[in-house]
C-alpha cells in the first residue's frame, strides 16, 4: 500500500490522479489533499478518499471546509497555509507526493518532498524551470525517486534506457525530440493573434488542462518551459533538445540514438497514462485510458517550430542558454503576463513583449541556493507588473 499526498488535488492533474487512484483501492491510500480555495470540490474529495489531512490556503476556506467535514462526520484534519503544504509532504507515513500545484507556488512543497526523500510524481514543471539545480541536488542527496508526469518527459523517461544516469553520450543518446501540438493558434494568421480572447487561448485542440498551462500552450511558452524541464531531468544541453510540431499529440516525445534508432512513446492524449505510469513504476496498472486506435489516427505529421510566430519559445531557449536565474525570471514574468492576459488587461501578443523586457531589464545571477531563485522570482514579478502598467496606460 502506498500512501500519497496530492498537492493541487482540485486541478486538472489532481482530479486525474484521484481518478486513477480510485481504480486501485488495494494499492494506494490518500494521506493528504491540498487546494488553493476550492472548498466544495475538496470536500467531495475528502468524502470519497477520507484523507488524514486537507490543506487550504486561506482561513475563510479552512473554516468552511471544517464545518462541512464536521456535518459529514469525517475526521480529516484541515490545515492552513504554505507551511502546511510542506508539512503534509514530509509526514513519515507518506510514500509519494504528486506535485500538481500550478506555478511557482508549487516549488516549496515539492522541494520539501525531495529533501525528505519521498517518491515524487512531478507535474509542476515550474519547480524545475525555477530551481532546476537546487531541486535536482536535493533529489540526488536524498535518493528520492523522481518520475516525470508531464506527458513529454514521461515519454522520454520511457524511451531512455532503464536507470538512465544523465550521461547522454555514455548511453548512446544523440538528441531528445520534444513534441508539441502547436496549440490552438498554430495556423491562425499572425495579425489575428492581437485580438484573441482568453477563452480562445484556453480551447486546446487535444488536451483539457488548467487555464494557465492552456495559455502557455497557445503561446508555446509551455514547450519552452518543457525544454528547460528536459534539460534538468535528463541532463541534456539546449542544442540537443529539438522541438517538433506534431498536431495530433499521439507521439508524446522521442529519443534519438547514435545508431539511428528513434524510440517514441505513443498514446491517446490523456494525462492518466503518465500518472498511472508514475504511480505504479516500475509496474504497469490500468489507467482508464482508451486503447490507441491507430486506424482512426491514420496520419501522423511533423513540422519545424516557427520561432517568429512563437517568440515565447525562443525566449525560453535564450533563458536556458543564459542559465543562472534567467529561467526563474522568465517563469515569473510569464506567470504575471499570463494572469494579466486572463484578466483581459493585456493582449495575447503582449505576453512575450512583457517577458522579453523583463529579461532585458534584470541581469541573471548564479544560483547557489533557494533564496537566489526566490529573490529573482520576486524581482521579476515586480518588473513584469511595471511593464504591464505601462502597457495599460
Ligand atoms: P490547475 O489550474 O487545473 O490546478 C492547479 C491546482 O493547484 C489546483 O488544485 C489549485 O487549487 C492549486 N493551486 C493553485 N494556486 C495555488 C497556490 N497559490 N497555492 C497552493 N495551491 C494552488 O492546473 P493543472 O493544469 O492541473 O496543472 C498543474 C501543474 O501540472 C502545472 O504546473 C502544469 O504545468 C502541470 N502540467 C499539467 C498538465 C495538464 O494536462 N493539465 C500537463 C502537464 C503538466
Ligand atoms: Mg507537456
Domain ranges of the chain: 2-148, 150-268+291-310, 323-393
Closest atom of ligand 1 to CA, residue 124: 32
Q: How many CA atoms lie within 13 A of 50 on its CB side?
A: 7
Q: Take atom 40 of ligand 1 and give the residue whose Cα is closest.
A: 209
CA gap 90, 112 in Å, rounded: 7
How far does the centroid of ligand 1 lie from the alpha carbon of residue 13, in Å? 7
Q: Take atom 2 of ligand 1 and give the residue whose Cα is closest.
A: 210
Which residues pair with residue 262 across a beta bridge? 256
How far does the centroid of ligand 1 lie from the alpha carbon of residue 102, in Å? 3
Strand-strand pairing, 262-266 and 77-80:
unpaired
CA–CA distance from 14 to each of 53, 68, 101, 360 (Å)? 16, 21, 8, 36
Check: pTM over 0.85? Answer yes or no: yes
Closest atom of ligand 1 to CA, residue 123: 30
CATH number of 2-148: 3.40.50.720
Which of the ligands is closest to the CA of residue 14? Answer: 1
From first to last of the 393 residues of the chain, give the pLDDT tens digit: 999 999 999 999 999 999 999 999 999 999 999 999 999 999 999 999 999 999 999 999 999 999 999 999 999 999 999 999 999 999 999 999 999 999 999 999 999 999 999 999 999 999 999 999 999 999 999 999 999 999 999 999 999 999 999 999 999 999 999 999 999 999 999 889 999 999 999 998 887 889 999 999 999 999 999 999 999 999 999 999 999 999 999 999 999 999 999 999 999 999 999 999 999 999 999 999 999 999 999 999 999 999 999 999 999 999 999 999 999 999 999 999 999 999 999 999 999 999 999 999 999 999 999 999 999 999 999 999 999 999 987
* Annotation: CATH topology of 323-393: Rna Polymerase Sigma Factor; Chain: A (1.10.1740)
Q: Name residue, grid cell 490518500.
A: 30
CA gap 97, 100 in Å, rounded: 9
Nearest Cα to Cα of residue 58 among 75, 74, 42, 76: 42
How far does the centroid of ligand 1 lie from the alpha carbon of residue 123, in Å? 8
Neighbours of 72 (CB within 10 A): 11
Strand-strand pairing, 251-257 and 262-266:
antiparallel
Q: Take atom 36 of ligand 1 and give the residue whose Cα is closest.
A: 123
How far does the centroid of ligand 1 lie from the alpha carbon of residue 339, in Å? 14
Q: Are 124 and 153 in contact (CB under 8 A)?
A: no
**All residues at 6 or more sequence positions from 172 whose CB lies less than 8 Å from its CB, including other chains:** 257, 258, 259
Q: Take atom 23 of ligand 1 and give the residue whose Cα is closest.
A: 210
Nearest Cα to Cα of residue 121 among 9, 207, 253, 10: 9
Which of the ligands is closest to the CA of residue 125? Answer: 1
Q: Are 61 and 87 in contact (CB under 8 A)?
A: no
Closest atom of ligand 1 to CA, residue 216: 34
Ligand 1 pocket, Cβ-based, cut-off 6 angstroms: 8-14, 35-36, 38, 57, 100-102, 105, 123-126, 150, 207, 209-210, 212-213, 271
Assigned C-alpha cell, 47: 468524502
Amino acid at each position: 500500500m502506498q500512501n500519497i499526498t496530492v498537492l493541487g488535488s482540485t486541478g486538472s492533474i489532481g482530479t486525474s490522479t484521484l481518478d486513477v487512484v480510485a481504480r486501485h483501492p488495494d494499492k494506494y491510500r490518500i494521506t493528504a489533499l491540498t487546494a488553493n480555495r476550492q472548498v466544495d470540490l475538496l470536500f467531495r474529495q475528502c468524502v470519497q478518499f477520507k484523507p488524514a489531512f486537507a490543506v487550504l490556503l486561506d482561513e475563510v476556506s479552512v473554516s468552511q471546509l471544517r464545518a462541512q467535514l464536521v456535518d459529514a462526520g469525517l475526521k480529516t484534519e484541515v490545515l492552513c497555509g504554505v507551511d502546511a503544504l510542506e508539512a503534509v509532504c514530509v509526514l513519515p507515513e507518506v510514500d509519494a507526493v504528486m506535485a500538481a500545484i500550478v506555478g511557482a507556488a508549487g516549488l516549496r512543497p515539492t522541494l520539501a518532498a525531495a529533501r525528505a526523500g519521498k517518491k515524487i510524481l512531478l507535474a509542476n514543471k515550474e519547480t524545475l524551470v525555477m530551481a532546476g539545480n537546487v531541486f535536482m541536488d536535493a533529489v540526488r542527496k536524498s535518493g528520492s525517486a523522481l518520475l516525470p508526469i508531464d506527458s513529454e518527459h514521461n515519454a522520454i523517461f520511457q524511451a531512455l534506457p532503464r536507470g538512465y544516469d544523465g550521461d547522454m553520450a555514455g548511453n548512446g543518446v544523440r538528441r531528445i525530440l520534444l513534441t508539441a501540438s502547436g496549440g490552438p493558434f498554430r495556423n491562425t494568421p499572425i495579425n489575428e493573434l492581437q485580438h484573441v480572447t482568453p477563452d480562445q487561448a484556453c480551447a486546446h485542440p487535444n488536451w483539457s488542462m488548467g487555464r494557465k498551462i492552456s495559455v502557455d500552450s497557445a503561446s508555446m511558452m509551455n514547450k519552452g518551459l518543457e525544454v528547460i524541464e528536459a534539460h534538468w531531468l535528463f541532463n541534456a544541453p539546449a542544442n540537443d533538445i529539438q522541438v517538433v510540431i506534431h498536431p495530433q499529440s499521439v507521439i508524446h516525445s522521442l529519443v534519438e540514438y547514435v545508431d539511428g534508432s528513434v524510440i517514441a512513446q505513443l498514446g491517446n492524449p490523456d494525462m492518466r497514462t503518465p500518472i498511472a505510469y508514475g504511480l505504479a513504476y516500475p509496474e504497469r496498472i490500468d489507467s482508464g485510458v482508451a486503447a490507441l486506435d491507430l486506424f482512426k489516427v491514420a496520419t501522423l505529421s511533423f513540422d519545424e517550430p516557427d520561432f517568429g510566430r512563437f517568440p515565447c519559445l525562443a525566449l525560453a531557449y535564450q533563458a536556458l542558454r543564459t542559465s543562472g536565474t534567467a529561467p526563474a525570471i522568465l517563469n515569473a514574468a510569464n506567470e504575471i503576463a499570463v494572469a494579466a492576459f486572463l484578466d483581459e488587461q493585456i493582449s495575447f501578443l503582449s505576453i512575450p513583449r512583457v517577458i522579453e523586457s523583463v529579461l532585458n531589464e534584470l541581469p541573471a545571477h548564479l544560483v547557489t541556493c533557494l533564496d537566489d531563485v526566490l529573490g529573482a522570482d520576486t524581482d521579476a514579478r515586480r518588473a513584469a507588473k511595471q511593464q504591464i502598467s505601462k502597457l495599460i496606460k
